[in-house]
Every structure is written in C-alpha cells, then in structure tokens.
Amino acid sequence: MAASVGEARGGPTGGVDNRRCGRRYGRRAHRFRLRHGQNGGVIVDCAVYRDGRRAEEPAGLTEALRTARDSGDTFLWIGLHEPTDDELARLSEEFGLHPLAVEDVLTARQRPKLELYRDSLFLVLRPVDYDPSSGRVSTGELMLLVGDSFVISVRHGDINPLGEVRERLEHRPEVLQHGPTAVMYAVSDAVVDQYMEVAARLQADLEELEEAVFTPDGPAGGDTAGRVYAFKRQVLEFRRSTGPLTDPVERLAGTRVPFVPESSRPFFRDVADHLTRANDQVETLDRLLSDVLSAYLAQVGVRQNDDMRRISAWAAMAAVPTMIAGVYGMNFDHMPELHHPLGYPAVMALTVAASLGLYRFFRRRGWL
C-alpha cells in the first residue's frame, strides 16, 4: 500500500465525492482520505486496476464502475475504515449493495461468514494480533463486498493487513488479472497466515508458562491459576476468530460460488489447508492449557496433602505431653509416682520418649 495519501473532500454531509475517485501525486499511487465530522469515517484507497495494473481513474465512481464493467479486464477496489452511515449509503446506492450487507458492515462485531446476495458476495474475516508483553489477543474485523467488477474492503479496528496486501498485489499484476476474486483470496490468505504467526507466539508463551508451573521450585499458589485461566481466555478469543472461518473458506474452495471462477478454487483450497493447520494449533493450545491447569491443580492438591500430614504429625506429637501434663495438673493426692523423688524426672522422660517415638514413626512414613 503506497505511503502517500491524496485528499478529496466530500459534499456538505461529508459523503463520497463522486467527482474524482482519486489522483496521482508524483510517483505515489493515487488514493484519497475522506473524513466525516468527528467520527473519523475514512476511505483510505480507491483504485481502478486494468489488466492487473493500477490505472488512472475516470472522473467518478459511477464512470469508474461503468468503465470496469464495459472493459472486462478492469475492476474497482475501494478500501474503507469504519465508514459512517452517509458514506456507506452513498456507496450502497452507487454499487447496488444489499441492505442486509450494509447493515452488517455498519453494525460490525460479526462472526466470520460468507453471505451470497443477488449482486454481490459478502465475506467477513476477523484478523488477530497478539502482544506478548501484555499477553492479550486483540481482534479486528475485515469485510469484503465482491460484485461485478468491483470489490469493497471495510475494516473495523486497528489491525490492518490490507495495506501490505494491496502493496504486494500491485507488485504481482499476474495475480490481480484474476479480478476481485484475487483480492478476496489475497486478503483471506494474509489473515490466515497471521493466524499461524499468532499461534506460534502463543505456543512460545505457553511453553514459558508451563516451565514456570512445573519447575521444582515453581510457584505453589498465588496467581499461577489466574495466569493459566487468563491465557486460556486469550486462546478462546483466538478460537472465536479461526473456527467459524472454516465453513466459508471450504465453500469458496469446494462449491460453486458466484463471482468466484472455478480456476480460483485451488487457491482457496490452499487457504483452507492453512486454516486447518491454524485450527489444529489452536486446538492443541487449548488442550495443553487444560492439561497444564489440571496438572497444576493436582500439584497444589499434593502439596496441600503434604502440608496436612505434617500438621497432623506435629499435632499428634504435641498431644502426648499435653495429655500427660493435663493428667498431672488435676491436683489429686493419689497419682502414680506423685510422691516419689524420681517421679518428676520419670514423667518428663516418658513425655520425651513418647514424642521421639512418634517423631520417628512419622519420619519413616514420610509425613515429616
């Protein structure tokens, strides 16, 4: 994705400016940024691709779309970031988008899915990122509206693989020659590849957590269980993005879908294969976390049992002198060895002997 950004202003309501789809600035690819009031709704890129190469746009979106449909080897790609109602309404009117698709785009927070409408194909992806320093998995949302000679990509959140995808595709015109389907494949492939990178980073952190839990002098309590549960929660958040995507990708790879030619199915099968591997990694992470948590809780139970045995052993040894002292503290006249000169030393020797005997007994049993 080119770094330079050209600006085009909308009308009074801040909607899409239909006079120009974009301009060139020097050597950089043309695009425009469109802001809408305080909401920051923005069109980050608008381009026409002819025979796999970026071309100068006609005067407006209507003319650009008409030209793309008439030429046969041209399509229009518009990229939006968190569009407003007015911006999306104008695009919907221009491209004939289905109202339900528009509603999903505006609502966001959708599960990964594939919807087929009469004039367009609607694909929802959830890109994922992981920050090892904070230990948090963050998710975004990408929506692709693919129709006759156009593709509209809508991004919600801060995770943005689209810039790199567009830049990479613009250096591979042989891929862009396949039209909007190539964009859908490239975006899906980038998101799924990111899944595998995140899974690898999670695996590395899980190994560190596992080592900390099972180190002989590792933590016996405190926040260890909380760390494991928190890690499991992040894996669950990751799983919510990867799991539901399986069905849409398999449909693109194996069944006849409008706007997706049969020649593109092998590419989506490759994405499906990578997604299967990512799902397997997520499944493995979840099982390992469950095993780590179970083993840690068993370890805590063993330690608590050891502590209880030690406490019981010391309590038993303390009970013997307590019992003897209690008997001789009753102030009776007729007590064993009460008036004997060696009575006191004999009782003390008995107390010590009984305590030492219990100590040796518990020691041999491993309680002490």
CATH number, residue 333? 1.20.58.340
HSE value, Cβ hemisphere, 13 Å, CA-based, for 72: 0
Instruction: Tokens 């997706």: give the residue.
Output: 260
As a whole number, mean pLDDT of residues 150-159 equals 91
Q: Is residue 164 part of a domain?
A: no
**Separation of first and last alpha carbons in the chain:** 69
Amino acid found at 124:
V
Structure tokens at 341: 């000169």
Q: Is residue 211 part of a domain?
A: no
What does each C-alpha distance from 53 to 22, 57, 187 come to in angstroms?
Answer: 15, 12, 18
Show the domain range for 335.
305-364
What does each C-alpha distance from 55 to 2, 3, 4, 24, 52 come to in angstroms?
Answer: 14, 17, 16, 10, 9
As a whole number, mean pLDDT of residues 4-15 equals 32
Q: Is residue 94 part of a domain?
A: no
Beta bridge partners of 145: 122, 152
**What is the predicted pLDDT for the residue at 11?**
33
Chain center to CA of 278: 12
**What is the predicted pLDDT for the residue at 116?**
92
pLDDT category of residue 20 using cuts at 50, 70 and 90:
very low
Q: State the DSSP string of 233-298.
A: HHHHHHHHHHGGGHHHHHHHHHS-BTTB-GGGHHHHHHHHHHHHHHHHHHHHHHHHHHHHHHHHHH
pLDDT tens, 248-261?
Answer: 999 999 878 888 88
Indicate the helix (H) or strand (E) that contains 347. helix 343-364
| Residue that wins the pLDDT comparison between 77 and 13 | 77
Q: Is residue 324 part of a domain?
A: yes
Amino acid found at 272:
A
pLDDT tens, 305-315?
Answer: 777 877 877 88
Q: Is residue 228 part of a domain?
A: no
**What is the predicted pLDDT for the residue at 351?**
78
Q: Indicate if the pLDDT at residue 52 is higher than 70.
A: yes
Lowest mean pLDDT among 162-176, 207-221, 269-283: 207-221
Q: Is residue 242 part of a domain?
A: no
pLDDT tens, 54-88?
Answer: 887 656 777 778 878 888 788 999 999 988 888 88
Q: Is residue 209 part of a domain?
A: no
Amino acid found at 45:
D
Contacts of 41 (CB under 8 A, 6+ apart): 14, 34, 35, 80, 81, 82, 83, 84, 87
181/74 Cα distance (integer angstroms): 12
| Residue that wins the pLDDT comparison between 24 and 119 | 119
Please choose, from the candidates 186, 215, 170, the residue with its C-alpha nearest in 3D space to the C-alpha of residue 52: 170
Tell me how many domains the chain contains.
1
**What is the predicted pLDDT for the residue at 282?**
92
* Average confidence score pLDDT of the chain: 79
Contacts of 150 (CB under 8 A, 6+ apart): 65, 68, 75, 76, 77, 78, 95, 180
Q: Is residue 360 part of a domain?
A: yes
| Residue that wins the pLDDT comparison between 320 and 152 | 152
pLDDT category of residue 335 using cuts at 50, 70 and 90:
low
Put simply, whether the predicted model's pTM sits higher than 0.75 gets the answer no
**What is the predicted pLDDT for the residue at 240?**
92
- Residue 29 has phi, psi (to 5 degrees) of -70, 145
What does each C-alpha distance from 48 to 35, 51, 94, 229 come to in angstroms?
Answer: 21, 10, 16, 48
